Amino acid sequence: MRIAVYPGSFNPLHIGHLAIMQYLTKERDYFDWVYLVISPKNPIKNIAPATAMDRYRNAVKAVKRHPDLHVWVEDIEIHMPPPQYTINTLDALKRREPENEFKLVIGADNLENIHRWRNFQRILTEYGVVVYPRKGYDLATMKKQLIEECKHLPVPYVLDESEITAEGMRSLEETLQRTYNIRIIDAPIVNISSTEIRMGQAAGRDMSEWLM
């Protein structure tokens, strides 16, 4: 099966996350299942969000409210020794389920850091990456950013501003997918974040309409 590995804090899960998972499994049929990986801590951000097991339990409850979704809430990182590097998570999933094909799903805001990830070359060559837009990152911005990121990638392919044309972007997307195993998707953007939801809740506002 084709599995999208979608890691994050998910504190809390919201309708923006839901839109991405629906797009990946239903609207475009890219994947058979999404594995929603609850991350205890981001080794790069060095931030420890609250209570990994609470976030896991809340995510399980949220996913159960959408029985049509092919989503599995994964606690594998919670039980891994720190730091929980993404490559270790992917390798552990592949060892557990060697028959499945895994690809990593990240937001556009993570593009600027992907070359800092542990063994990012292996992530690209052995698994592949799917990039979805985030608030403030439209497709054109994402593609321009990838021009800079490609300079850090293992295959010596150099991009320049002249390629940001309709024809050039098609060439760039083909290069990203075939050479670097990176796919850019035009998933819907919901202008809400988990941080904004938590801030609203702390201020006493009803944020339930944004929750998954």
The CA R_g of the chain, rounded to the nearest whole Å, is 17
Q: Catalogue the E-assigned strands of the chain.
A: 2-8, 33-38, 71-74, 101-107, 129-132, 182-184
pLDDT of residue 157: 45
| pTM (2 d.p.) | 0.83
At 98, give phi and psi (nearest 5°).
Answer: -65, -20
The range of the structural domain enclosing residue 42 comes to 2-210
Please say if the pLDDT value at position 200 is more than 70.
yes
Which tops the pLDDT comparison, 80 or 190?
Answer: 80
pLDDT of residue 145: 67
pLDDT tens readout for residues 101-112: 999 999 988 877
Q: By three-state DSSP, how is residue 115 classified? A: helix
At 32, give phi and psi (nearest 5°).
Answer: -80, -40
Report the CATH number that the domain containing residue 133 is assigned in CATH. Answer: 3.40.50.620
Average pLDDT, the chain: 83
C-beta separation of 131 from 107 below 8 A: yes
Please say if the pLDDT value at position 154 is more than 90.
no
pLDDT tens readout for residues 125-148: 899 999 888 777 666 666 666 666
Count Cβ neighbours within 10 Å for each residue of 171-207 and write b for 16 or more, e otherwise.
ebbebbeeebbbbbbebebeebebeebeeeeeeeeeb
C-beta separation of 128 from 104 below 8 A: yes
One-letter amino acid at 157 equals Y
Number of structural domains in the chain: 1
Report percent pLDDT > 70 for the chain: 77
